[in-house]
A and B are shown apart, each in its own frame.
Chain A
Amino acid sequence: MIDAVLVMNTQGKPRLAKFYKSLSPVKQQEIVRKVYTGLSSRAEHFCNFVEADEIFGAGTKLVYKHFATLYFVFVIDSGESELGILDLIQVFVETLDSIFKNVCELDIVFNFNKVNTVLDEIVMGGQVVETNSTEIVKSVQEIFKLERG
């Protein structure tokens, strides 16, 4: 399953942190820090997986992608496919992009409720529920419409 989804900027500030396992806030902060130090030292062409036994327990991996000023990090266990998750990140970002029209870090900062909604449509309880970007956009828009109405 997916243990956590983190979005943080290149300075290490968390922009979105969703954990699918109960962890105390202190622990969460620590994890965010560790993940950041783990990622920030990696060169661009290195592979997108980092084994994270130390941070999350045996068998877990970070799958991350670096977009402009943001790191999108999925923490997964052995039940997920690394390459698949890499594409899922792509889906997530594409979805955000089509919802915010050229998404940037600030969109995520100011609309974290929307971002959370999008993520909820993609990942639920640590499992992937939807991978089709247009589907996600459709259901998210529907929710937003209802909210406005």
Chain B
Amino acid sequence: MEQLKTIGRELAMGSQGVWGSSKEFLELVKTIGEAKSKAEEERIVLAEIESLKRRIQEPDVPRKKMKEYIMRLVYVEMLGHDASFGYIHAVKMTHDDNLLLKRSGYLAVTLFLNEDHDLIILIINTIQKDLKSDNYLVCCAALTAVCRLINEETIPAVLPQIVELLNHQKELVRKKAVMALHRFFQRSPSTVSHLFPAFQERLCDRDPSVMSAVLCALYDMILVNVKPFKHLVASLVSILKQAVEHRLPKSYDYHRTPAPFVQIKLLKILALLGTGDKAASENMFNVLGDILKRSDSTSNIGNAILYECVRTLTSIYTNPRLLQNAAEITAKFLKSDSHNLKYMGIDALGRLIKITPECAENHQLAVIDCLEDPDDTLKRKTLDLLYKMTKANNVEVIVERMVEYIRNISDNHYKTEISSRVIELAERYAPSNQWFIQTMNQVFEIAGDLVPQKVAHDLMRLIAEGAGEEDEDADSHLRSSAVQAYLQILKEPKLPSILLQVISWVLGEYGIADGSHSAEFIIGKLCDIVATRPGDDKLKGYVVSAITKICAFEKAAGQTVDLIPECVSFIEELYASHSTDLQQRVYEFHAVLKLDRDTLASILPMDASCEDIEVDKDLSFLNSFVESALANGSRPYLSDNERRGMGAMTTLASNNDAGTSSLLRFQPYEKPSIPEPAAALVTASHYSQDAIDQHDIYSSAITVSTSSKAPESSSNDGTRLKLEGVQKKWGRPTYTPEAQVPKNPINISDSVKVSSSAAGKEASSRNSSAPPYTERKQPPQEISAEKKKLAASLFGSKAGDTKAKPAAKLQQNGTSKKAPAKPTSPPPPAPAPPPADLLDLSDSLPQTPSVDPVDQLADLISVDSSAATSTTSLVEQVFDAGKVATKGPSPQASLQKDAVSRQVGVTPSGGTNPDLFKDLFG
């Protein structure tokens, strides 16, 4: 209210004509200013638009009046309303001879129109004329408009005039001409590429303002292509020198700093020119040193130059002495109280550590301060920095920080970005599979549906393959601990779909593998999962497959499976599902249950998700069947084309031939009939009957067929079912054509993706005892100690530690086969990471630390290949954790690995994250 009064008072003054606008306009602004609601403002503006529409079209509006109308249109448009009815009048106004009106016209036009507007064509002519005007102000107005209004097509129309203006006597015009050409370069680089020499000539313009305009243009051009400008280094350095030495006119000083913007631009250009060019860089060292010496670090602008200088020094060929200076400046920034300078300091540090990684250690506490600062910009920047300095020895702490950060923000954009970074870091530097799985679980839990599906597939593959080598013990340990962890996680309410999918898959595949959980228990859990997300078809698919597998495993092991009521009702429900994919899965489930023990063991063997699947493309196992059918008088098989040629001669008999299936296109419908067409016919004819009846027929048909067929046929059946379990999950499209599997189910269900519903969480929330992740968020008690610890674990790896480590390693290699006591985990260098260690899932995973799969793997490698090499590589790894390159296993190992996974057909795509395995096997 107070504010309104002030406005009113000032308006009263205003209406006396201080601002030289008409009273009406002032009234308008005033009423809008006083509007109490958006709706009221809307009403006022609409009324204004109406009146403008009427009045602007009256004949013979005085030009002064017209100018005011147009200004009012600009105002209306600024408030977000459409004023397109008046555009043409603004265009007309640019034709006016009166400079004031012309300028107003140009101003309005540049505000109204974008470069692709139809009316532009009407202005081109005026612009051409104005560019030739004797009055330099007219030229300037036209040039300003050119920057805004000329698009790629119209550039040639004005280009010659503008090039001419480069030599205009007024420096203002020359400058604006340079800027206009710069704009053209941005629009369409090719149109002005022949003008590079002209630009260079203007670099020596007698007026520094023109020169500085050229610098801006040069910067953009060099950004695109450095080559043609390499020879400019010397002249640019000399310009910079002049600027630094105060030889530009006084008027370019800013707060007694000589031409700071010119300096900054030049430094940016030099950074580009000097990248990876030793000769060019040596030219610059002198002047850069000069700047570092002269710049005044007490003023804002001085710091801007210093920062720029640091940036340049870190991108050009390195000079140790200057880098030392740069590090000092960075230190000063970091120690400053100003948030702005801290921000710059963090950024500069991020650049410095690329060259001299050790310099980070001096600034540990400053960095941690920034990380804990409430200022979000600063925090984010610091996370950027941490991301850049992540190594194997601090990945756990950094990832923990990042996870904590995404846990606390709601902005999806940054959540996605940072979680993808977490995933990247985890894949690259994961100290152990255990840790990797836990980290992924957390990311899924927090960022849930923002995580790409591929990550989930990678995770499942990792669990399935384990360490990937022959060490079954470690693998099964990894799996059972994964199962444990997931069972724990399930207690939390509100889990994202993607995590639940992973959980379902893991439970289905390994839930009962180690014998510590009963099938009923696991199936119960699976049913609970579905209950939390009733609308999620994709998840249901995962769960049905998981239940199928568990039942098959149980039966194959000779036990009987009594489905719990929830499960039965869940399955029953799906018989009538709208999703054909789900229907198919439950029918298969039923069919599988009816099979005998041996068949089951062969179609759904335990832990075979990574095994190779042989597909008999020719269906040769059906030969005997075909022969007997032919002998019984059936017609031979005709291909689709042949049949077409024969008109409507198609017969069921030819359809009976199993080979037909390879040509049918609507696979989802035809699928059940593929192994046994006769059965399919029966089923189809009974579709109208009630459900139970139908199942019986369906499944009995299957059983009859399989038993009547030779054993090969059942194995074929098995192939199919296994494809369900494996191929669909991993979404490898290459399989589908050969194997005749119905459309990739993931694709199907993608289209049915149903957003999570909040209902039905009781199931998982009811046992809320001891959620593993919440307790780790204990606040730091003594800040300083905490910080120091954090610092140590971030920057650590001090000499003492590194000495101790290799010894342990070597010993370990010596004793080879025995399961070592977890030395490979990234050296928690100093006292060990802070108590709030997110990796500590030991509650839920009691045996975790005892056996580390990676260790055992390391042992294996050392046994398999020559012990000497792997020892050295391990030592190297300890000493030089930063270098990723040295970390990998022997190339053969990875090749082998690659070959294996290719064979298996579960590699999502070539080389998606080779680093993951590199490091896991390192």
- Is B413 a contact partner of A47 (Cβ separation < 8 A)? no
Measured CB to CB, the closest approach of chain B to A67, in angstroms, equals: 16
- With known contacts A128-B261, A131-B254, A83–B19 Cβ distance under 8 A: no
Q: Is the CB of A82 within 8 A of B344?
A: yes
Contact A112 B301 (CB under 8 A): no
CB distance from B30 to the nearest CB of A (A): 10
**A103 contacts chain B at the CB level, 8 A cutoff:** no
List residues of chain B with CB within 8 A of the CB of A87: 254-255, 260, 300-301, 304
Residue in B179, B255, B380 whose CB lies within 8 Å of A51: B380
Which of B75-83, B613-621, B865-873 forms contacts with chain A? B75-83
B34 CB, min distance to chain A CBs, angstroms: 13
Contact assessment for B114 and A116 in the assembled complex, using a CB-CB cutoff below 8 Å: no
Q: Are A25 and B219 in contact (CB under 8 A)?
A: no
Size class of B's contact patch?
A: 35 or more
Residues 81-121 (chain A) with a chain B CB within 8 angstroms:
81-84, 86-88, 91, 104, 106, 109-113, 116-117, 120
With A86-B300, A139-B172 as known contacts, state yes or no: A125 contacts B254, CB within 8 Å. Answer: no
Closest to B100 in A: A147
**Complex interface: chain A residues within 8 A of B182 (CB):** 125, 127
Q: Does B46 contact A (CB under 8 A)?
A: no
Q: Which residue of A lies closest to B413 (CB)?
A: A54
How many angstroms from the CA of A51 to the CA of B268 in the assembled complex? 20
- Distance in Å from the Cβ of B875 to the closest Cβ of chain A? 40
Given A29-B80, A87-B301: A49 and B254 interface contact (C-beta under 8 Å):
no
Known A53-B413, A84-B261, A143-B103; contact A125-B251, beta-carbon cutoff 8 A: no
CB of A46 within 8 A of CB of B375, answer yes
> Are A134 and B264 also in contact (CB < 8 A) when A116-B107, A124-B179 are?
no
| B147 interface neighbour in A51, A81, A125, A147, Cβ under 8 Å | A125
Residues of A within 8 A of B176 (CB): 124, 129
Instruction: Determine the distance from Cα of A25 to Cα of B113 in the docked complex, in whole angstroms.
Output: 10
B65: min CB distance to chain A, Å: 16
Interface of chain B residues 490 through 538 with chain A (CB within 8 A) = none
Chain A residues within 8 Å of B172, by CB: 139
In the assembled complex, which residues on chain B have CB atoms less than 8 Å from the CB atom of A46?
A: 339, 374-375, 377-378
Say whether A132 faces chain B, with CB atoms less than 8 Å apart. yes
CB distance from A127 to the nearest CB of B (A): 4
The answer, among B107, B175, B307, for a CB contact under 8 Å with A83, is B307
> For the complex, is B860 an interface residue (Cβ under 8 Å from A)?
no
Cβ of A49 and Cβ of B343 under 8 Å apart? Answer: yes
Judge whether B340 and A113 touch: CB under 8 Å: no
- Do A143 and B144 contact each other (CB < 8 Å), given the known contacts A49-B343, A134-B251? no
Q: Tell yes or no: B355 within 8 A of A by CB.
A: no
User: Is A47's CB under 8 angstroms from B137's CB?
Assistant: no
Distance in Å from the Cβ of B261 to the closest Cβ of chain A? 5
Complex Cα gap A64–B713 (Å): 73
**Which A residues are in CB contact (< 8 Å) with B254?**
87, 91, 131-132
Q: Does the CB pair A106–B216 fall under 8 Å?
A: no
Tell me which residues from 60 to 98 in chain B have a Cβ below 8 Å from any Cβ of chain A: 71, 74-75, 77-78, 80, 82
B130 at the interface (CB under 8 A from A): no
B175 to A112, Cβ gap below 8 A?
no
A124 touching B147, Cβ below 8 Å: yes
Q: Is B99 an interface residue (CB 8 A)?
A: yes
Q: Report the Cα distance A79→B311, complex, angstroms.
A: 12
**Does B679 sit at the interface, judged by CB under 8 A?**
no
Distance (Å) between the CB of A43 and the closest chain B CB?
A: 8
Is there a chain A Cβ closer than 8 Å to B767's Cβ? Answer: no
A88, B260: Cα distance in complex, Å: 11
How distant is the Cα of A112 from the Cα of B77 in the complex, in angstroms? 13
Which residues of B have CB within 8 Å of A143?
103, 137
B803-838 interface bits toward A, Cβ cutoff 8 Å, 1 = contact, 0 = none? 000000000000000000000000000000000000
A48, A81, A106, A129: which contacts B175 (Cβ < 8 A)? A129
CA distance A120 to B144 in the complex (A): 8
Q: How far is the CA of A148 from the CA of B100 in the complex (A)?
A: 8
Interface residue ranges of B191-223 to A (CB < 8 Å): 209, 212-213, 216-217, 219-220, 223
Q: Which residues of B are found within 8 Å of A116, using beta-carbon distances?
A: 107, 111
The reply on B775 being an interface residue by CB < 8 A is no
* CB–CB A48/B209 < 8 A: no
Q: Is the CB of B115 within 8 A of A22?
A: yes
Q: Is the CB of B14 within 8 A of A132?
A: no
Which of B74, B180, B338 sits near A125, CB closer than 8 Å? B180
CB-nearest residue of chain A relative to B114?
A: A22
Whether a CB of chain A sits under 8 angstroms from the CB of B21 is: yes
Cα distance, A123 to B789, chains bound together (Å): 48
B411 on the A face (CB < 8 A): yes
Residues of A within 8 A of B33 (CB): 109
Interchain CB contact under 8 A, A132 and B252: yes
Q: Find the A residue at minimum CB distance from B347.
A: A82
Q: Determine which of B75, B308, B338 lies in contact with A112 in the assembled complex, contact meaning CB atoms within 8 Å.
A: B75
Cβ–Cβ contact A81 & B21, under 8 A:
no
Q: How far is the CB of A53 from chain B (nearest CB, A)?
A: 7
User: A42 contacts which chain B residues (CB < 8 A)?
Assistant: 375-376
Whether B19 pairs with A45 at a CB distance below 8 angstroms is no
From the candidates A45, A86, A91, A106, name the one contacting B14 in the complex (CB within 8 A).
Answer: A106
A79/B10 contact (C-beta < 8 A), A125-B183, A129-B213, A132-B251 known: no
Is the beta-carbon distance between B260 and A110 smaller than 8 angstroms? Answer: no
Residue B667 is within 8 A (CB to CB) of chain A in the complex: no
The answer to whether B26 has its CB under 8 Å from any CB of chain A is: yes
Considering only residues 1-19 of chain B, those with a C-beta below 8 Å from chain A are: 3, 7, 10-11, 14, 19
Chain B residue nearest in CB terms to A125: B147
Residues of A within 8 A of B114 (CB): 22
Whether B261 pairs with A146 at a CB distance below 8 angstroms is no
Known A48-B340, A54-B413; judge A111-B19 contact (CB<8 A). yes
Q: How far is the CA of A84 from the CA of B303 in the complex (A)?
A: 9
Contact of A50 among B3, B82, B377 (CB under 8 A): B377
Instruction: Find chain A residues with CB under 8 A from B14 CB.
Output: 106, 110
Given A25-B80, A87-B304, A146-B100, the answer on whether A47 and B340 have CB atoms closer than 8 Å is yes
- List B contacts of A91 (CB < 8 A): 254
CA distance A125 to B116 in the complex (A): 16
21 chain-A/chain-B pairs, Cβ below 8 angstroms? A1-B186, A43-B374, A46-B339, A46-B374, A47-B339, A47-B343, A48-B339, A50-B377, A79-B223, A83-B340, A84-B261, A87-B255, A88-B261, A109-B29, A110-B19, A111-B19, A113-B71, A125-B180, A127-B216, A128-B261, A142-B137
Residues of A at under 8 Å CB distance from B? 1, 14, 17, 22, 25, 29, 42-43, 45-51, 53-54, 69, 79, 81-84, 86-88, 91, 104, 106, 109-113, 116-117, 120, 124-132, 134-135, 139, 142-143, 146-148
Known: A54-B413, A129-B175, A142-B137. 11 other contacts (CB 8 A): A14-B78, A22-B114, A46-B374, A54-B414, A82-B340, A82-B344, A83-B301, A88-B261, A125-B147, A131-B252, A132-B252
Which 9 pairs between the two chains have the least Cβ-Cβ distance?
A: A83-B304, A47-B339, A125-B147, A147-B100, A22-B114, A54-B413, A127-B216, A46-B375, A125-B183
